[in-house]
Amino acid sequence: MAKEKSFYTCSECGGTNPRWLGKCPHCGAWNTLVETASEGAAAPGKNRFGDSFASLAGTAEVTMLSQIEAVDVARTPTGIDELDRVLGGGMVEGGVVLIGGDPGIGKSTLLLQALDGLQRTGMPTLYVTGEESGAQVALRSRRLGLDHSEVRVMAEIQLQKIIGTLEVEKPAVAVIDSIQTLYSDQLTSAPGSVAQVRECAAHLTRVAKASGVCIVLVGHVTKEGALAGPRVLEHMVDTVLYFEGDTHSSFRLVRAIKNRFGAVNEIGVFAMTEKGLKGVSNPSAIFLSQHSEPVPGSCVMVTLEGTRPMLVEVQALVDSGGPSPRRLSVGIERDRLAMLLAVLHRHAGVACMDQDVFVNAVGGVRISEPAADLAVMLSITSSLRGKPLPKGFIAFGEVGLAGEVRPAPRGQERLREAAKLGFSVAVVPKANAPKKGSREIEGLTIHPVERIEQAMDVVRGLG
Ligand code: TYD
Ligand code: MG
């Protein structure tokens, strides 16, 4: 019998089958068989190692933890400060970075700029493009003002050829744009399928670890928000970065979701300009919209993403809805919104049952921390009552199911940032307010609250 190049593995039970089937013959699950390359694997059903693992597969060296020299990894800065910040200082030798985001958000632009920066410090780089031709990449580089760029470009989508070229060219950093366009000739499935994406990424990761080349994989995110090949790559790579932002606004955030070489949840802020992405080193107030006078349904909060506080405007619109009113949120989790509406009703007596509720974090930011709760609830109430919050007002704090307002991490830092930007009134969790007798934050009147109904009373008293 001819040796099969690949077989199929059930993602539910791990059982294998030589052919693809709609239903797994082992566990009966539907649509779970995924093609797998049979590299050194035995035919399905046989024991891969025979009777003795030690005699056939050999053994590997075991070392005591205390005897392993712990050298800190060497990082090479790309020269783009905001990118280096999310990477934890720069590119790491043998590191694999996955950078995901919607099509057209700026992944190729940023990476071309980064490669050019690295190349100018004398590091050999390689840009592998599977989506655009060399001419298109060149056109983009001219547009970015990267004249006389020595970045080498290869238009190729076949994995084995790319790996061969990496061996010969020996770049220090290689960008694969994108992982969804690659295909391995070991598999028969189409490029972009889960099997291909997984196989190509796994192979490239092994190459990176073995040769020390730093590989950056570009991955497109599908409509549902999952990286095609549903997040299958995240566990394989060292660093996962996601591009966020509204393609209609010029601001882009790059967020570290996972980083074996640095802190997570650090964000880099960029503005898309005529000449590519430019870092925004002081992003504090870019996510505020400009109202000359306070308007109903708008509340500013201070969010702390990574190490920098940022002011973000949360907007809400509450309007009479039909028999099944809608709850829609952009930049804030929808389930969280539903929960906050229930808390508002139960503990503060604010009922939106027959109302449509829309909530938006201005500028396409995604706020993942619960410290946004108070601002979301205050903006909803403000819209419902048609009454704006006072001028220069900020709020932050988590709100629990029992209606209690819980402190946000590093509250003092948030308050100082708000004061620096000229905000004058703050409603914050009690534990975040400066202690009695301690130094006040200049220019800011702080109202500490312990419960949501108390926050509502304070706001009513101010207005
Ligand atoms: P791109 O990097 O191609 O996105 P991705 O690789 O994530 O799909 O970004 C493309 C968008 O950026 C495109 O809509 C045009 C815009 N752009 C600029 O505004 N200025 C520039 O200098 C460049 C190169 C692109
Ligand atoms: Mg691209």
Whose Cα sits closest to atom 11 in ligand 1?
104
Please check whether residues 102 and 217 belong to one and the same domain: yes
- CATH number for the domain including 356? 3.30.230.10
- For residue 129, the cross-strand partners are 155, 177
Whether residue 233 is contained in a domain is answered as yes
Whose Cα sits closest to atom 12 in ligand 1?
106
d(CA 105, ligand 2 centre) in Å: 8
Closest CA relative to residue 433, chosen from 463, 399, 383, 397: 397
d(CA 131, ligand 2 centre) in Å: 7
Among 223, 249, 281, give the residue marking a domain's end: 281
Count of the separate structural domains present in the chain: 3
For every residue of 174-188, DSSP letters joined together read: EEEE-GGG-B-TT--
Per residue of the chain (463 residues), give pLDDT as tens.
445 578 888 877 878 888 888 888 888 888 888 888 776 544 444 455 445 666 666 788 898 988 888 777 888 999 999 999 999 999 999 999 999 988 889 999 999 999 999 999 999 999 999 999 999 999 999 999 988 889 999 999 999 999 999 999 999 999 999 899 999 999 988 888 888 899 999 999 999 999 999 999 999 886 555 555 546 788 899 999 998 887 778 889 999 989 998 888 788 999 999 999 999 888 877 778 778 889 999 999 999 877 788 999 999 999 998 888 999 999 999 999 999 999 999 999 999 989 999 999 988 788 989 999 999 999 999 999 999 999 999 999 999 999 999 999 999 999 999 998 899 999 999 999 988 766 678 889 999 999 999 999 999 998 7
Whether residue 426 is contained in a domain is answered as yes
Whether residue 291 is contained in a domain is answered as no
Query: Among the atoms of ligand 1, which is closest to the Cα of residue 105?
Result: 7
d(CA 132, ligand 2 centre) in Å: 8
Whether residue 434 is contained in a domain is answered as yes
Please check whether residues 99 and 139 belong to one and the same domain: yes
Whether residue 62 is contained in a domain is answered as no
Whether residue 68 is contained in a domain is answered as no
Whose Cα sits closest to atom 23 in ligand 1?
276
Owning domain of residue 424:
298-462
d(CA 139, ligand 1 centre) in Å: 12
Please check whether residues 147 and 3 belong to one and the same domain: no
Among 56, 86, 103, give the residue marking a domain's end: 56
**Ligand 1 pocket mutation, candidates 107, 109, 243, criterion most atoms within 8 A of CB:** 109
| Per-residue model confidence as pLDDT tens digits over 297-321 | 999 999 987 778 899 999 999 999 8
Please check whether residues 21 and 84 belong to one and the same domain: no
d(CA 262, ligand 1 centre) in Å: 27
| Per-residue pLDDT at 60 | 85
The residues near 135 (Cβ < 8 Å, ≥ 6 apart) are none
User: Are 195 and 203 in contact, with CB atoms under 8 Å apart?
Assistant: no
Whether residue 242 is contained in a domain is answered as yes
Please check whether residues 353 and 264 belong to one and the same domain: no
Whether residue 287 is contained in a domain is answered as no
Query: Among the atoms of ligand 1, which is closest to the Cα of residue 218?
Result: 6
Closest CA relative to residue 102, chosen from 274, 218, 230: 218
H-only helix segments in 274-409: 334-348, 373-385
| Per-residue model confidence as pLDDT tens digits over 204-220 | 999 999 999 999 999 98
Q: Which ligand is nearest to the CA of 180?
A: 2
Please check whether residues 86 and 181 belong to one and the same domain: yes
Q: Which ligand is nearest to the CA of 178?
A: 2
| Per-residue model confidence as pLDDT tens digits over 243-289 | 888 777 888 999 998 999 888 878 899 999 999 999 988 887 777 87
